[in-house]
Amino acid sequence: MNDAAAVPDEGAVPDGPERSADELVGGPVGGPVGGPVDEPAYDLAAPAPLEVPRTPTGNADVDAALDRLADADHLATDGHVEVYEDVHRGLRDALTALDARPGPPAPPSTYGNRS
């Protein structure tokens, strides 16, 4: 005879009082079939601000493009594409401008002086 406690199989449901779906999720799941369903307190499809903090970069062009992202907070998702494309264009232009700036002259090459 084995005195060890029985270990339930994986996936087994522990014994205990049966609970309704309402109790499992912490509230009503819905009304009877064909009955009313509780509406959420807000419209899930409505635009909602993400409120992502934006830290200034020190580059005016980049900061202006990142500030433009806040415009997407007040648009439905189908309007986000236009804002994102505009921001992408602005960031690409800012990077291109950095590449176009004249920098210090390159040091002379020592490879050309070989005999």
Sign of CA dihedral 40, 45, 49, 51: positive
Structural tokens at position 26: 């912490």
The reported pLDDT for the residue numbered 102 is 75
Rg (the chain; Cα; Å): 31
Q: What is the pLDDT of residues 47-63, one digit of tens each?
A: 777 777 888 999 999 99
Where does residue 110 rank: exposed (0-12), middle (13-18), buried (19+ CB within 10 A)? exposed
Among 27, 46, 47, residue whose Cα is nearest residue 37: 27
Query: What burial letters (b/e) apply to 73-108, b meaning 16+ CB within 10 Å?
Result: eeeeeeeeeebeeebeebbeebeeeeeeeeeeeeee
pTM of the model: 0.48
Spatial distance between the Cα atoms of 101 and 48, rounded to a whole number of angstroms:
40
Share of the chain above pLDDT 90, in %: 21
